C-alpha cells in the first residue's frame, strides 16, 4: 500500500503586498508540508486582470523570500490555465451537473429578487431548459453537504441554502470557484489550509469536486487574525505587508516564530529559533478554532529573543541597512561590530539596536544641554574631567580594556575621596551625550582611546569657554 504524498499550497491574489494574515497562512501550509515530508507549492491567482499587477506579484514573491519560505516546483499562474478550467466546466455541463443560463443585467437582478422574496437560494428558471448560450451555472444537488474540517470540526449545510453559482461567465472566463478547484486538483493538493472566510466556499467546492469525480482534499480553515481590541484586523492594527515589519526591524526568523504561534500551540513552547524545530512538531490539530489577536508586545519579546540568540556577525549584517550612510565609516563600523554583544540584550528590534549604538556613532562635538549637562555643571566636574583626560592619555593601547579603565576611574574617585557617581556621571555625560549606554568602563573601551580623549577634550573646551 502506497501513501499519497501530502501537498499543500499558498494561493494569493496579486492585488497588493503579502499581508501578515496571508503570511501566516503560507507558514501553516509550509510547516505542515515539512512536518509530513510533503511539498509546499505556490500559485498566483491572477485571473482578476483589472486588479492583478506585476508589482503586487513581485511584492508577494519578495515577501516570501524575505520570510525564508521556499516553495517546491514552479509557480503556477492561474491566468495561464484557462483551457483546463474550460474543460472542467464542459465536463460538468455534459454530465448534467451544470447548465447554461442566459440571464443577465436587469433580468438576472429581477430573478434574484424573486428568489429573495420567496426566501430561497438562487435557482435559475433555465435550470431545466437546455439553453445553449449564457453563463455556465452549477446545479446544486438536493440533500445536504457534510464537511470535516481539521480546525472547525464537522459542519453540515442544507443544500437548499446554497445558490446555483456561476462556474464560467458568458464571455468564457472562469470564476474563482471553478478555477481554484481545477488548479488544486491538477496540482495534486491534498490539504487546503486557508482562512475561515472561505468556509462556505468549501461546501460549494466539495459538491463540485464530487460532481467531477475527483478526490476531495482535506480541509483546514484557520480563524482570521484580529486586532488587539478583538475587532477585524485593519491597517490601524498592523494589517501591513511583511516588508513593513522588515522595515520596523523585525527579523524574518522572529516573525515566522511569532506568526506560527499566533493561533497554533504546542504545549508551552513559545520560542522556536530553528525552522526544523517547528516543522518537527507542527500539526493541524494544534491550530486554535478561535481568532488570535495581534500582540506587538509579544512580537517585540520574541524578536528580542531571536536577536539575543543570533550570531554576532549575522546580526551585524542584518543591522547595517538601518544605519545612516554617514555612520558607515570604517571606524564607526568597527566600534559598532565590537559593541554588538553589549547591544544585543537591550534591543527589541534591529532599529533599537542602532538606537542603542547612538553613543558610539555620534558626531563630535556632542550636544550637551539640558538635563544631560547637569552633571557637568557640578562643582569640581571640570577638574575631575581634566585629571581623567590626562591619565587616559598615558594609558598604553595594549592596556585599553574595560577592567583596567574601571580600576582607573575607581582610583580617581578614591584619590579625591568622592563617591564613584561624582566622577562617573560627568564622564558618562561627556562621552555619550545622554544616550543610552552600558557600564561606563565598557563605553570607554568600545569608544577607544582616541575617541574618548577627543570627546573629553571637547567637553573641557566647552566648559572652559563657559
Catalytic-role residue among 34, 235, 298, 404: 235
Q: How many residues can be counted in the chain?
A: 466
Tabulate helix, strand, coil % of the chain (nearest 5): 55, 10, 35
End-to-end CA distance of the chain: 90
Integer Cα distance of 268 and 255 in angstroms: 19
Is 235 noted as a catalytic residue in this protein? yes
- Provide DSSP, 172-238: SPBPHHHHHHHHHHHHT--EEEEEGGGHHHHHHHHHHHHHHTPPPPEEEEEPPEE-TTSSBP-TTTT
Whether residue 298 contacts residue 258, with contact meaning beta carbons closer than 8 Å, is answered with: yes
CB-CB neighbours of 132 under 10 Å: 7
CA dihedral for 409, 414, 418, 419, sign (positive or negative) = positive
Peptide bond into 365 cis (omega under 30): yes
User: Residue 292 carries which DSSP code?
Assistant: E
- Provide DSSP, 18-39: -BHHHHHHHHHHHHHHHHTT-E
Q: Active-site residues: which are they?
A: 235
Amino acid at each position: 500500500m502506497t501513501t499519497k504524498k501530502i501537498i499543500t499550497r499558498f494561493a494569493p491574489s496579486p492585488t497588493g503586498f503579502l499581508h501578515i494574515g496571508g503570511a501566516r497562512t503560507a507558514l501553516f501550509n509550509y510547516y505542515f508540508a515539512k512536518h509530513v515530508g510533503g511539498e509546499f507549492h505556490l500559485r498566483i491567482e491572477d485571473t482578476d486582470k483589472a486588479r492583478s499587477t506585476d508589482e503586487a506579484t513581485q511584492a508577494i514573491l519578495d515577501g516570501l523570500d524575505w520570510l525564508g519560505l521556499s516553495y517546491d516546483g514552479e509557480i503556477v499562474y492561474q491566468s495561464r490555465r484557462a483551457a483546463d478550467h474550460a474543460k472542467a466546466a464542459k465536463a460538468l455541463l455534459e454530465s448534467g451537473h451544470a447548465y447554461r443560463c442566459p440571464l443577465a443585467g436587469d433580468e438576472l437582478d429581477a430573478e434574484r429578487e424573486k428568489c429573495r422574496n420567496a426566501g430561497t437560494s438562487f435557482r435559475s428558471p433555465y435550470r431545466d431548459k437546455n439553453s445553449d448560450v449564457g453563463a455556465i451555472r452549477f446545479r446544486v444537488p438536493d440533500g445536504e453537504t457534510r464537511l470535516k474540517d481539521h480546525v472547525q470540526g464537522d459542519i453540515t449545510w442544507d443544500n437548499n441554502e446554497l445558490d446555483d453559482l456561476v462556474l464560467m461567465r458568458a464571455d468564457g472566463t472562469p470564476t474563482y470557484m471553478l478555477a481554484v478547484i481545477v488548479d488544486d486538483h491538477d496540482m495534486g493538493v491534498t490539504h487546503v489550509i486557508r482562512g475561515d472566510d472561505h468556509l462556505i466556499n468549501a461546501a460549494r467546492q466539495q459538491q463540485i469536486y464530487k460532481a467531477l469525480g475527483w478526490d476531495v482534499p482535506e480541509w483546514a480553515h484557520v480563524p482570521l487574525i484580529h486586532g488587539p481590541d478583538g475587532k477585524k484586523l485593519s491597517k490601524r492594527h498592523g494589517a501591513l505587508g511583511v516588508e513593513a515589519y522588515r522595515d520596523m526591524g523585525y527579523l524574518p526568523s522572529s516573525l515566522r516564530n511569532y506568526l506560527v504561534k499566533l493561533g497554533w500551540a504546542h504545549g508551552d513552547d513559545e520560542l522556536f529559533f530553528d525552522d526544523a524545530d517547528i516543522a518537527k512538531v507542527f500539526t493541524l490539530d494544534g491550530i486554535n478554532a478561535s481568532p488570535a489577536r495581534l500582540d506587538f508586545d509579544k512580537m517585540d519579546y520574541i524578536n528580542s529573543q531571536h536577536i539575543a540568540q543570533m550570531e554576532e556577525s549575522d546580526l551585524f549584517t542584518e543591522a547595517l541597512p538601518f544605519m545612516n550612510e554617514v555612520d558607515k565609516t570604517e571606524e564607526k563600523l568597527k566600534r559598532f561590530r565590537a559593541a554588538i554583544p553589549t547591544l544585543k540584550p537591550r534591543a527589541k528590534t534591529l532599529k533599537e539596536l542602532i538606537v542603542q549604538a547612538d553613543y558610539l556613532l555620534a558626531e563630535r562635538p556632542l550636544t550637551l544641554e539640558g538635563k544631560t549637562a547637569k552633571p557637568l555643571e557640578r562643582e569640581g566636574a571640570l577638574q575631575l574631567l581634566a585629571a581623567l583626560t590626562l591619565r587616559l592619555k598615558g594609558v598604553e593601547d595594549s592596556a585599553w580594556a574595560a577592567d583596567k579603565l574601571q580600576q582607573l576611574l575607581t582610583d580617581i574617585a578614591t584619590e579625591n575621596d568622592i563617591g564613584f557617581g561624582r566622577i562617573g556621571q560627568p564622564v558618562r555625560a561627556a562621552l555619550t551625550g545622554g544616550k543610552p549606554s552600558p557600564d561606563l568602563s565598557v563605553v570607554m573601551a568600545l569608544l577607544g582611546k582616541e575617541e574618548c580623549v577627543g570627546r573629553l577634550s571637547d567637553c573641557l573646551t566647552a566648559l572652559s569657554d563657559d
